Amino acid sequence: MDRRTFLKTGAGVAAIGATGGISAPALSQGAAARTLRFVPQANLANFDPIWGTQYVVRNASVMVWDTLYGVNAQLEPQRQMVEGEEVSSDGKTWTFKLRENLFWHDGERVLAKDCVASLERWMVRDGMGQMIRDLKDELVAVDDRSFRLRLKSPFPKMLLALGKNNTPMAFMMPERLAKTDPFQQISEFVGSGPMRFARNEWVPGAKAIFTKFDRYVPRQEAPSWLAGGKQVNFDRIEWTIMPDPATAAAALQNNEVDWYETPLPDLVPQLRRNRNIRVDIADPLGNIGSFRFNHLHAPFNDVRARRAVAMALNQQDYMQAVVGDDPSLWSALPGFFTPGTPLYTEAGGDILKGPRNIDAAKRLLAESGYNGQPITVLVAQDQAPLKAMGEVTNALLSSIGMRVDFVATDWGTVGQRRAMKTPPGQGGWHVFHTWHAGADCTNPSSYLALRTTGDRAWFGWPSDEAVENARAKWFDAPNLDAEKAAVAEMNAAAMNHVTYLPTGFFKTYQAWRSNVSGVVGGPIPFFWGVTKS
Amino acid sequence: MFAYVVRRVLATIPVMAIVALFVFSLLYIAPGDPAAVIAGDQATPEDVERIRASLGLDRPYLVRFGAWVFDIARGDLGVSIFTNLPVSTMIRQRIEPTLSLMVVTLILAVSVAVPMGVVAAWKVGTWIDKFVMGFAVLGFSVPVFVVGYLLAYTFALELDWLPVQGYTAFSQGLWPWLENLILPAIALGTVYIALIARITRATMLEVLQQDYIRTARAKGAGQRSILFLHALKNAAVPIVTVIGIGIALLIGGAVVTESVFAIPGLGRLTVDAILRRDYPVIQGVVLLFSFVYVLVNLVIDLLYTLFDPRIRY
């Protein structure tokens, strides 16, 4: 009996007297093993994975809503809800057949019309979905288990689009929910995944509870990320929101939670010293730090000014500011695509390699016509990696003779201000930082930050035909070699254009109690295959 | 007296109206965009714009304010932009932990600070007095979160006496409820104890110089009787005032304490709402806090009559 148990017993006796016998319901050891206590990366503030595309919403949604396909650890789309598909010889018509025994959490059978409505809603919000929608001639249910998608021209990346893990994922919902305007939230949380969402127990900002869906029939294959048999070994998965990382780490050490998704690197040495805790890389695909320029206004509307910054930028400074001195957590990244994945390339990335040349950067900056105007850098102070990158940028820009207007604010404000196209002196901006999940940067499909479509591009509004042409080649690429060539071309073009600057590649840790097993690294915390003794 | 209470209660209406106008206007001009937060980092500017329109955030100030006031007048605090839940539901989910924390802190602080102040005044100039004053200075100087971390490290991680975090509803039992509140209440109460102890000491020192205290001593009254019956009662008015004012201190401190100890209370709800720009929630919670503060002041004013019969309304 430990001290707390002893105290509890003593106090419990007193409490019985004081409250007339009211005491906490005790969980048996078996029940405790069937409950997983998890601390997610952020608050689950809403629960519609099409309406709100935050990663935390997606991470919860993969338990509740299933997908037609799912990527495995090799990033290959595999069948999930689908039993099989047929594609016509001209590549324009896809017919999908659903597995048998698929049920919604309300007991109704999953029908093809549900999938049609779900895809229609998803296509409005997702980049790849919008491409499919632009090519779509017809999307109809053929019968209860089959539906057909007819296109104007072939779309070779169809299965990747339907099975990708980037937000918004193509989650399947009952038709009545899927008919909700994609810019409005759904009002029920009925899915067909392995876990139900316990809406009555949901306290946004505090906890979210998921209970096992007994009628879920997992696939027979071994689980691999979003593919294979999603066999959940818990009756209950409890998400507890803890805004303070030190508190979450302490709760893990004190056996108050089982699994902590994102411990701060600073706290990891302390966790490693605890023999009851395991620590490992959370996601091998990591994250790419981003130095984002506003291409609309001087000086960064001139590629020479952007290149001047690239010549001076030292990724080591950024990464050590973000993750500290742990070399296993970061690496230099002279490219835009995720290291360790098939399409990774350093083509055109020489400008980020080798010793930094401050003098040459200063000369190039002067050539660009920079006249000493203040450079507005938006720095979100409530996001540790962004605050760290902002501080380094302040020093970097100063080192090449730029005058920095350091706007220390919060992410909510950055989110609003970065959308403003007005000149920096009138509410706009020159630079802000963010990071991109490596899982979103494995190929060009969902890589919004690398689009160069001008006014229609992501914040900063870069414009460059060479990048877009190379991107189009990737979509049409018939095989991996052709894909690699297209991506190398795209990477080189984006480096030449300095669409944005990667500040490095960094990973984070996850930590869990040693009585929990089956935790795998990935872009999402996968709960299937995990057990607790 | 009754007429006074009614007058004061009615006076809360214009106060709340001014608070409402102030809060709404402040949020309107404050930077930040909930639509951008909802849309996420992968969204295009067009997506953000459409979400903003669907939330009605593109409507003019007066239209939005008018709609909000109309709803408030009907007792409807609105619906959270993010959770789609009624603000009243979210407040109801969160009010018990905050109320519990404040009550336990209040009881702890008053029961520790008042005797400390009384004893310090009684033993003025001695090491006891110096200790109490030293504690008060420390209590004022050390931030709540530092006290919180130290307590959690010592009593939860090292000694394993109490949990690090969380909250258990009172309906689950007295001890489960209390064990989650002890450390947060000490952390939150430290500055409050310092404040009350200092005021109690200062007021008691003044009262102990009064003629009626000398008279009580001359009549042979015991020290305890002099301190707690004669002196403390006459020193009560400023002490009660400080306790009341300190409620605001508690509300502010609860925000930090609830974050450090992961207590799902109104403080965290407020911070989360501010960071996400969930305007209806911010407005609802600030209105509630304002109402509570006005109410507490009323109660304190009424308590004056209890401690000092000369006060009449």
Q: Secondary structure of B178-223 in the HEC alphabet?
A: HHCCHHHHHHHHHHHHHHHHHHHHHHHHHHCCCHHHHHHHHCCCCH
Q: Closest Cα to residue A232, out of A531, A533, A443? A: A531
Q: Which residue, B12, B42, B73, sits at the end of a domain?
A: B73
Q: Give the pair of three-digit tokens for residue A20.
A: 């007339």
B62 within domain boundaries: yes
pLDDT at B268 over 50: yes
Lowest-confidence segment of A62-76, A80-94, B52-66 by average pLDDT: B52-66
Residue-averaged pLDDT of chain A: 93
pLDDT (mean) for A353-381: 96
Q: Closest Cα to residue A490, out of A457, A443, A435? A: A443
> Which ipTM was obtained for this model?
0.85
Residue-averaged pLDDT of chain B: 90
Note whether A11 and A98 are same-domain residues.
Answer: no
What is the structure's pLDDT at A411? 82
With bands split at pLDDT 50, 70 and 90, how would you rate the model's confidence at B26?
A: confident
Q: Which residue, A122, A148, A178, sits at the end of a domain?
A: A178
Query: Which residue shows structure tokens 């650890």?
Result: A73
- Give the pLDDT confidence of B180-233 residue by residue, as tens digits: 999 999 999 999 999 999 999 999 999 999 999 999 999 988 888 898 888 998
CA distance B80 to B277: 10
- CB-count exposure of residue A481 (10 Å: 0-12, 13-18, 19+): exposed
With b for 16 or more beta-carbon neighbours within 10 A and e for fewer, the B247-283 pattern comes to: beebbebbbbbbbbbbbbbbbbbbbbbbbbbbbbbbb
Q: Which residue, B73, B99, B123, sits at the end of a domain?
A: B73
Note whether A146 and A56 are same-domain residues.
Answer: no
Q: Which residue, A283, A316, A339, sits at the end of a domain?
A: A283
pTM of the model: 0.88
pLDDT (mean) for A100-118: 97
Distances (CA, A) of A86 to A13, A92, A93, A98, A148: 67, 11, 8, 12, 9
CATH of the domain at B281: 1.10.3720.10
Distances (CA, A) of A466 to A471, A529, B52: 9, 44, 33
pLDDT at B65 over 60: yes
Note whether B21 and B164 are same-domain residues.
Answer: no
| Structural domains counted in chain B | 2
- Give the pLDDT confidence of A512-525 residue by residue, as tens digits: 999 999 999 999 99
What is the structure's pLDDT at B33? 81
With bands split at pLDDT 50, 70 and 90, how would you rate the model's confidence at B42?
A: low
Q: Closest Cα to residue B91, out of B227, B275, B283? A: B283
3-state secondary structure of A43: coil
Note whether A330 and A477 are same-domain residues.
Answer: yes
Residue pair B162/B154 in contact (Cβ under 8 Å)? The answer is: no
Note whether A318 and A419 are same-domain residues.
Answer: yes
Q: How far is A265 from chain B (nearest CA, A)?
A: 18
What is the structure's pLDDT at A50? 94
Q: Which residue, A256, A283, A310, sits at the end of a domain?
A: A283
Tally Cβ neighbours within 10 Å of residue A324: 16
**Which residues, numbered 162 to 191 in chain A, qualify as contacts with chain B under a Cβ-Cβ cut-off of 8 Å?**
166-167, 181, 183-185, 187
CA distance A407 to A378: 5
| Structural domains counted in chain A | 3
What is the structure's pLDDT at A28? 62
CATH of the domain at A474: 3.10.105.10
Note whether A107 and A215 are same-domain residues.
Answer: no
3-state secondary structure of A225: coil
Length of chain B: 313
φ and ψ at residue B45, rounded to 5 degrees: -55, -35
pLDDT (mean) for A187-193: 96
With bands split at pLDDT 50, 70 and 90, how would you rate the model's confidence at B249?
A: confident
Structural domain boundaries enclosing B291: 90-307
Q: Give the pair of three-digit tokens for residue A518.
A: 């089956």
Instruction: Verify whether the Cβ–Cβ distance B83 to A46 is below 8 Å.
Output: yes
Note whether A480 and A372 are same-domain residues.
Answer: yes
What is the structure's pLDDT at A19? 41
pLDDT (mean) for B43-62: 84
Instruction: Verify whether the Cβ–Cβ distance A53 to B42 is below 8 Å.
Output: yes
φ and ψ at residue B253, rounded to 5 degrees: -70, -30
Note whether A98 and A157 are same-domain residues.
Answer: yes
Residues in chain B within 8 Å Cβ distance of A434? 41
pLDDT at A29 over 70: no
B312 within domain boundaries: no
B160 within domain boundaries: yes
pLDDT at A527 over 80: yes
List A84's β-bridge partners, or say none: A97
CB pairs < 8 Å spanning A and B: 177
What is the structure's pLDDT at A11? 44
Note whether A269 and A314 are same-domain residues.
Answer: no
Q: How far is B271 from chain A (nearest CA, A)?
A: 10
Note whether B120 and B243 are same-domain residues.
Answer: yes
A20 within domain boundaries: yes
With bands split at pLDDT 50, 70 and 90, how would you rate the model's confidence at A24?
A: very low
What is the structure's pLDDT at A1? 44
CATH of the domain at A77: 3.90.76.10
Q: Closest Cα to residue B97, out of B172, B191, B161, B147? A: B172
Q: Which residue, B73, B100, B134, sits at the end of a domain?
A: B73
Lowest-confidence segment of A54-68, A457-471, B57-71 by average pLDDT: B57-71
What is the structure's pLDDT at B158? 94
Residues in chain B within 8 Å Cβ distance of A440? 42
Residues in chain A within 8 Å Cβ distance of B144? none
Q: Between B85, B149, B163, which is nearest A246 by CB? A: B149
A199 within domain boundaries: yes
With bands split at pLDDT 50, 70 and 90, how would you rate the model's confidence at A419?
A: confident
Report the 3 state secondary structure along A336-365: CCCCCCCCCCCCCHHHHCCCCCHHHHHHHH
- Give the pLDDT confidence of A210-235 residue by residue, as tens digits: 999 999 999 999 999 999 999 999 99
- Give the pLDDT confidence of A356-366 residue by residue, as tens digits: 999 999 999 99
pLDDT at A3 over 70: no
CA A288, A294, A295, A300 dihedral sign is negative
Structural domain boundaries enclosing A475: 287-506
**Which residues, numbered 186 to 225 in chain A, qualify as contacts with chain B under a Cβ-Cβ cut-off of 8 Å?**
187, 203-207
With bands split at pLDDT 50, 70 and 90, how would you rate the model's confidence at B5?
A: confident
What is the structure's pLDDT at A21? 40
Note whether A244 and A317 are same-domain residues.
Answer: no
B51 within domain boundaries: yes
Instruction: Verify whether the Cβ–Cβ distance A250 to B164 is below 8 Å.
Output: yes
Test the B interface: residue of A254, A273, A288 with most B CBs within 10 Å: A254
Note whether A260 and A312 are same-domain residues.
Answer: no
Nearest residue on chain B to A251, alpha-carbon basis: B164
Q: Give the pair of three-digit tokens for residue A229.
A: 């048999």
